[in-house]
Amino acid sequence: MASVITRWRPPIRLVRAFAWSAVITNGLIAVTGATVRVTGSGLGCATWPQCQPGSLVPEYRTGLAAIHQAIEFGNRTITGLVLVASLGTFVLIALLRPVRRQLLLLAGIGPLGVLFQAVWGGIVVYTGLKWWTVAPHLLVSLVLLFAAVAVLVRLGESDGPVRLAVPRPLAVLCWATVVELTLLCVAGTLVTAAGPHAGDVKTPRLGLPVVDLAQLHADLMFLYLGLVAALGVGFLAVRAPRRLLVRTCVLVAVTLAQGAIGLVQYALGVPELLVLLHVLGAVCLVAAAAWVAMATRTRTPQDATSPAVTSG
């Protein structure tokens, strides 16, 4: 039986389907995790890895609100979907021939990251939802999303030497925007940690002025938008490949939409629905940034025996 499995070669369409599911589920769990937070459902499941003491599933006779238990349990369930998608992608890539070691290492980030998230979730519960334990949950999900996009792109490439698709200064600027985006996301989690949607009224908050943190977050957003605009102008000036120009246009559009949502939610007193839309915007922003960054480089053309196919 084992020899049959080792001889089996997965169709590239199946590998790509799992890679896409890893992208989607990593984005989905970031949004559902935010839903847990804005609804104050973080302790809807009072223990870990069980939901209630002695039960893996919610028990509505415990006195906790049923909706909070359902939201928290739903988020935990989606963790299983992320693991299946990420681990499945890793295993299928491992079965490709010839062996693609670099891609396999990149794909390994997914399942390892999900296992870390699961263990960290236990720390979050046992520490009573302290802000410094909750904030990394979203940030790690965004890192795993970026890695999942990179895996999806690499599936469509050969394993030949990397060649820059644009002059090196523009490639460096592109990755600088990724660093800036990281700072922007960190600032966003700090705003949430200090604000009204850090959990229920008993959840410990970050003891810093939320107005000052929101201003820092806004400043970083304006800086990011400026860098992305400069990047787009640079790509136009050097006549970058069409796919890179298209992806950059998408990135600019998502950045503008995300900034607009942030301004509106602040003006309206951060209503829950707009907070969730803002987290969804962050997911889209990270995915778009990953697609742009991965398009600044190419690899040597595939040969006829390569298992990869052209990426979208």
157 against 112, higher pLDDT: 112
Predicted confidence band of residue 304 (pLDDT cuts 50, 70, 90): very low
109: pLDDT strictly greater than 90 = yes
CA distance 152 to 109: 13
Q: What pLDDT sits at residue 194?
A: 77
298: pLDDT strictly greater than 80 = yes
Predicted confidence band of residue 1 (pLDDT cuts 50, 70, 90): very low
CA distance 93 to 101: 9
Match 């700090």 to its residue by tokens: 190
Count the neighbouring beta carbons within 10 Å of the beta carbon of residue 100. 21
Q: What pLDDT sits at residue 93?
A: 92
Q: What pLDDT sits at residue 60?
A: 66
pLDDT in tens, 115-162: 998 888 878 777 777 777 777 888 999 999 999 999 999 998 878 788
Residue 295 DSSP label: T
**Mean local confidence (pLDDT), 259-279:** 85
CA distance 7 to 104: 18
**Mean local confidence (pLDDT), 76-92:** 91
CA distance 41 to 38: 8
DSSP lists the bridge partners of residue 85 as none
207 against 283, higher pLDDT: 283
Predicted confidence band of residue 306 (pLDDT cuts 50, 70, 90): very low
In a 10 Å sphere around its CB, with 0-12 CB exposed, 13-18 middle and 19+ buried, how is residue 14 labelled?
A: exposed
Q: What pLDDT sits at residue 204?
A: 63
310: pLDDT strictly greater than 90 = no
3-state secondary structure of 307: coil
Q: What pLDDT sits at residue 64?
A: 62
**Mean local confidence (pLDDT), 87-104:** 90
Q: What pLDDT sits at residue 207?
A: 67
pLDDT in tens, 215-227: 898 999 999 999 9
**Mean local confidence (pLDDT), 67-90:** 86
308: pLDDT strictly greater than 70 = no
93 against 43, higher pLDDT: 93
Q: What pLDDT sits at residue 312?
A: 34
Q: What pLDDT sits at residue 177?
A: 95
Please give the angle made by the CA atoms of 108, 110 and 112, to the nearest 5 degrees. 70
Q: What pLDDT sits at residue 125?
A: 76
